[in-house]
Structure 1
Amino acid sequence: MNIYNTHPVTGEYIGQGVAQVSPLEPEVRDESGAVIREAVYLVPAHAVTVAPPVAKPGKRRHWNGAAWEYRDEPASVPGQSEQAPEPDVPQCSPWQVRKGFNARGMRAEVEQYVAAASQEVRDGYEFATVWKANDPFVLEAGAGLGMTPQQVAEFVAWCATL
C-alpha cells in the first residue's frame, strides 16, 4: 500500500513511501486461498493513504487533515536564489531493499560491505526506516558496491515495486 508523507507542521507533500503489513495483523486465508481477514497496514505519523493531486506550477500540495489542497508557492525574497522544488525521490522500505538484494544475488556482498564499513554505515543499514535514493548513507553504500547515483536510484525505485 502506498503512503504519502507530509511535513509534520505544514502538511506539505514531501514524498511517497510504502506501508508495511502489521506483523500482528497479516492477511489470513483459508485452505482454499480465500481471504478471511485483510491485512492491516502500518501507516506512520504524518503520512496518509490518499494520493496527492497532480503537481501544478506555482502551487504546493498540502494535506489539511481531511483532504489535499493546493497552496500558492511563497513569494521569493529579493536576494535569495530561486530553488527548484526537489523532484520525487525513489524510496523503499528496508524490507523491500533486502528483497531486492536477495533477488539480484547481492545480499552476501552487501552484508560483507556493511560489516567492514564505519559504525555509521552499520547503524544506517540496521536502523534505517526508509531507503531514499538521495540519502548520503544510501549513496555511500551504493558507491561502496560500485553503483553510480543513477544506478542507486533505479535500484531503489525497483525495490519499491517488490
Structure 2
Amino acid sequence: MSLDVAQLRGLRQPDARSCGPSALVAARMLLDGRTVSRDEFGARVLALHRDVTSVAGAGLPWPRALGTPPWGAARRLAAWTGTRHRTRVNRWRHLSPEACGRAEPVLVYVGSRWLPRHVLLVAQERVYDPARGTVAPAYDGRWRTTWLVVEPTGSR
C-alpha cells in the first residue's frame, strides 16, 4: 500500500447512496497504490454499487435503503486482498484504536442512535469520508456512533 490516504481528498461519492462503494473503490486504490481521476472514480463507484448491492451479490437480506451490505463489502475486500474479512458489530462505540491503527483499509458503518447511515474508510490512522471527499485524523469526525466494522481477520 504505497498510496497515502491523503491522496483520496477531493474524491466524493457520485450520489447520495454510494458511500459504501466509494469507500471500497478508495480501499482498492490504496491496495493497488494508484490514483484515478474524479470521473473514473465516479464510474468505478457506480459500477461497483450495482454489483455489491445486487440480489446475487448480497447473499443475505439487507434493506437497499441502508446501502451496501457489510458482508458484500467484506467479500469484495477479501477477493482483493486474499485475506478473509469479517463484519464485527461495534454498536454504540467510538472508532476503536484497533480499527484506526491498521495499515489495511477498514470500512466503518456509522450513523445515528437508531441505524447505520454512512460508510467511512479508515486506514493509516485517518478517516476518508466519501460524502465530503475529506481525510481527517481517525478520532476527528462528525459520525461518532459506529455500528459495524469490516476488517481483515489475519487469515487467508
Q: Which of 1 and 2 has greater Rg? A: 1
By relative contact order (CA 8 Å, sep 6+), the higher-ranking structure is 2
Greater share of residues in helix: 2
Same structural fold, with TM-score higher than 0.5 when normalized by the shorter chain: no
What is the TM-score when the length of structure 2 is the normalising length?
0.25
